[in-house]
Amino acid sequence: MPNAAERTYIMLKPDGVDRGLIGEILARFEKRGFKLIAAKLALPSKEHLEKHYADLKDKPFFPGMIKYMQSGPVFCMVFEGLDAVKTGRAMLGATNPLASQPGTIRGDYALAVGRNICHGSDSVENAEKEIALWFPDGTLQYRLSQEAMIYE
Ligand code: UDP
Ligand code: MG
């Protein structure tokens, strides 16, 4: 059963910020109907990024990926809405942009797996962990006037 109060963690990576895509990517989630409930620019430490990507620590690309993630600011967002985690992943496209459909974020803006511009949580459990890591003070609760036009 899809959950309308589900939260997902979406993060524009340094290449996405550098390429001026913060507004574009944020707008895609807003226009889809998701509610922005937290956002900030951040320069995360190596330790913080290693926590975020802990499940990948044994992968050969891990050191290079952490270095790239520290090459500039990231833009951190939490969106809330119906089936937000699965829908967010669909909007992102495949991990390798070459396998991402046009119309997806990675399929429209990226070519290389190591420069795929945007992160999105892959499960509800990981989303909650990532939100707690990046926004320890929590997210906002408020109503959008258009909610009756987005939900039945
Ligand atoms: N990554 C990489 N090389 C690879 C696989 C992944 O550089 O062969 C990077 C890529 O930027 C990816 C990130 O590591 O977004 C995290 O990998 P994950 O498997 O979690 O993919 P995602 O959930 O981001 O689609
Ligand atoms: Mg992942």
CA distance 136 to 132: 5
Q: Could you tell me the strand order of the sheet in which 7-12 lies?
A: 35-42, 74-80, 7-12, 118-120
Rounded mean pLDDT, 9-35: 98
Residue type, 20: G
The response to whether residue 95 sits with its C-beta less than 6 Å from ligand 1 reads: yes
48 token code pair: 């913080």
Rounded mean pLDDT, 16-37: 98
Look at the pTM and tell me if it is higher than 0.80. Answer: yes
User: For the domain 7-140, what is the CATH code?
Assistant: 3.30.70.141
The response to whether residue 94 sits with its C-beta less than 6 Å from ligand 1 reads: no
pLDDT band at 36 (very low <50, low <70, confident <90, very high): very high
- In this prediction, residue 4 carries a pLDDT of 85
% the chain with pLDDT above 90: 97
Please give the positions annotated as active site.
119
Rounded mean pLDDT, 70-87: 98
Q: Which atom of ligand 1 is nearest to the CA of 115?
A: 11
Distance 4 CA to ligand 2 centre (A): 22
pLDDT higher than 80, residue 118 = yes
- In this prediction, residue 105 carries a pLDDT of 98
The response to whether residue 63 sits with its C-beta less than 6 Å from ligand 1 reads: no
118 token code pair: 């945007």
Q: Which atom of ligand 1 is nearest to the CA of 13?
A: 11
Q: Which residue has a Cα nearest atom 17 of ligand 1?
A: 95
**Residue 89 known to bind ligand:** yes
The answer to whether 84 touches 52, Cβ cutoff 8 Å, is: no
- In this prediction, residue 2 carries a pLDDT of 79
pLDDT higher than 90, residue 3 = no
**Residue 116 known to bind ligand:** yes
